Amino acid sequence: MLSKLSALLDRHLSGGDATPDPLDIHQKQLAMAALLVEVAMADQHFSLAELDHLVLLLEKQFSLSAVESKELAELANAQSADATSLHQFTQLINRVCSHSEKFALLSSMWEIAYADGQLDKYEEYVIRKVADLLHLPHSDFIRAKNLINKARS
């Protein structure tokens, strides 16, 4: 699965062949998972709590097995480390995701940010940046944050 996902994303990002649109579901999953990793890494500490929560979110959101979710998280971590900007991920998501899917991603990003029990200013910055790149209004940014805060209480 890892090699398939990596090959699909690399092929699409390099523009080397005519990958048909809409994007393959695996590419979409990898782009979304990479953005979740970006939030987890924003404070320079990818805690075990954040990793565990990421794997659970991927399982639930994409109906994957625990093994597939762990592999996707590992691949997303590698892709995130190699990325030069958030644009390569947000560009893919903007092309294939609905507003509700983008909002769900934003909510998941808040869940990751709070997974270790504390919100770091850099995590919040990354979420705000992604919300802007996904063309989500500030009201969605605040609404998603409040929903996750309410669910944590």
Give residue 113's domain range: 2-152
Task: Report the alpha-carbon distance of residue 52 to residue 70 in Å, rounded.
Answer: 9
State the pLDDT at residue 22: 44
Within 8 A by CB and 6+ apart from 60, the residues are: none
Cβ proximity of 113 and 123 under 8 Å: yes
CATH number at residue 111: 1.10.3680.10
Prior bond to 22 cis, omega within 30? Answer: yes
Is the model more confident about 85 or about 22? 85
Q: In angstroms, what CA-CA distances link 58 with 3, 20, 104, 125? A: 18, 25, 12, 22
59 CA to centre of own chain: 13
Which of 6-15, 102-111, 132-141 is the least confident region? 6-15
Task: Report the alpha-carbon distance of residue 19 to residue 6 in Å, rounded.
Answer: 14
Instruction: Assess whether pLDDT exceeds 60 at residue 23.
Output: no
Per-residue pLDDT tens digits for 89-125:
999 999 999 999 999 999 999 999 999 888 999 999 9
Predicted TM-score of the model (pTM):
0.82
Per-residue pLDDT tens digits for 28-52:
999 999 999 999 999 888 888 888 9
Which has the closest alpha carbon to 89: 70, 100, 102? 102
Task: Report the alpha-carbon distance of residue 131 to residue 124 in Å, rounded.
Answer: 11
Number of structural domains (the chain) is 1
State the pLDDT at residue 116: 85
